[in-house]
Amino acid sequence: IVVAGAAGRVGYYAVQWASQAGATVIATASNTEDAAACKAAGAAHVVNHRSDSFAGDILAANGGVRVDRAIDLEFGANLATWIAVVATSGTIATYGSVAVPEPTLPFFQLMYMDMNIRFIIVYAMPEAAKQHAIADIHTALANDALHPRIAATFPLQDIAAANELIEKGTIRGAVILNIE
């Protein structure tokens, strides 16, 4: 499985879930700090998504074999890469497409690959699916199976400083407010 943006909020958890389930995870990151975090989360390989040989690097990391799944956060920008690296009957699960908000789908190419594309947004999930996910996450956290990437912790009275840190856009991980 390839997890794009693997050092981000969603990707970081996806790496942990997939590796704990036995998948070989190829994470994408663009700097050494994020690459190290991806490895610590369970990625077997890390490739740079800014590389000119991004698709080739994914295939090389997987022994030249196409992957079964890709978890994506930038669908329109990454679609050509996923077509190049995801196997026939594979799945692309995506939850974003900011750079190309209305991507063009190469219908016949995707159809002949028997490609599954899952567009995911938690707000549209059935309530039962949300509750199941919450229960799974709660169990994983209680069993110390998921580890959040925390960048900073602030007391509640320093909420303005916490917000300023977030607005800088340079942090890696979550900012936590301690309300105790």
Q: What is the CATH number of the domain that holds 97?
A: 3.40.50.720
- Which helix (H) or strand (E) segment is 71 a member of? strand 67-72
Asked whether residue 14 falls in the same domain as residue 102, the answer is yes
Which DSSP letter does residue 155 get?
Answer: E
Longest dimension (CA), the chain: 57
Task: Note the pLDDT tens digit of each residue in 105-130.
Answer: 999 999 999 999 999 999 999 999 99
Q: 155 φ, ψ to 5°?
A: -70, 155
What are the helix (H) ranges across the chain? 9-20, 32-41, 54-61, 75-85, 107-112, 127-142, 159-168
Residue 49: domain span: 2-129+134-141
Map residue 66 onto helix, strand or coil: coil
Map residue 20 onto helix, strand or coil: helix
Asked whether residue 44 falls in the same domain as residue 78, the answer is yes
pLDDT of 180 above 90: no
Asked whether residue 68 falls in the same domain as residue 38, the answer is yes
To the nearest whole number, what is the mean pLDDT of the chain? 96
Which DSSP letter does residue 24 get?
Answer: P
Asked whether residue 161 falls in the same domain as residue 88, the answer is no
Task: Note the pLDDT tens digit of each residue in 17-43.
Answer: 999 999 999 999 999 999 999 999 999
- On the CB side of 115, how many CA atoms lie within 13 Å of its CA? 26
Asked whether residue 13 falls in the same domain as residue 86, the answer is yes
Q: How far apart are the first and last CA of the chain?
A: 40
**Structurally, how many domains does the chain consist of?**
2
Q: Residue 179: beta bridge partners?
A: none
Asked whether residue 169 falls in the same domain as residue 125, the answer is no
Asked whether residue 95 falls in the same domain as residue 154, the answer is no
pLDDT of 169 above 90: no
pLDDT value at residue 170: 86
For the CA atoms of the chain, what is the radius of gyration?
18
